[in-house]
Amino acid sequence: MSATLVFKALADPTRRAIIDLLKEQDMTAGDIAEQFNMKKPSISHHLSTLQTAELVLSERNGQHIIYSLNTTVFQDIMMWMMNVSGKENEK
Given a contact cutoff of 8 angstroms between Cβ atoms, the answer to whether 55 and 6 are in contact is: yes
Find which of DNA, a copy of itself, none residue 78 binds, CB within 5 to 8 Å per kind: a copy of itself
Rounded to 10 degrees, the C-alpha dihedral 7/8/13/17 comes to -60
d(CA 23, CA 86): 27
Give yes or no for residue 25 binding DNA (CB under 7 A). no
Binding to DNA (CB under 7 A) within 29-58 occurs at: 29-31, 33, 38-49, 58
Which chain residues interact with a copy of itself by CB under 8 A? 3-4, 7-8, 10-13, 16, 19, 23-24, 69, 71, 74-75, 77-78, 81-85, 87-89
